[in-house]
Structure 1
Amino acid sequence: MTPSPIGRAFVFGDQIDTDLLAPGHRMKLEPDALAAHCLEAVDPTFASAVRPGDFVVAGLNFGLGSSREQAAVSLKRLGVRAVIARSFARIFWRNAINLGLPAVTLAEADQITAGDRLSLDLEAGRLTNETQGRSYAFAPFPDHLTAMMRDGGLIAHLKRSAQPETGAAA
Structure 2
Amino acid sequence: MITAEQREQLRGWFAERLPIDVYESLVDVVVDREEITVIGRVPAGESVKEFRARTRDQRIEVAREAESLYRRKVAWGVETDAGRALFTHLAVPVMTRLRQSERQVLDTLVAGGVARSRADALAWCVRLVGKNTDTWLADLRASLEEVERVRAQGPDRATDSMESEEE
TM-score class, shorter-chain normalisation, is under 0.3
TM-score when normalising by structure 2: 0.24
Look at both structures and tell me which one has the larger radius of gyration over its CA atoms.
2
Higher relative contact order (CA closer than 8 Å, sequence separation 6+): 1
More helix by share: 2
| TM-score normalised by the chain length of structure 1 | 0.24
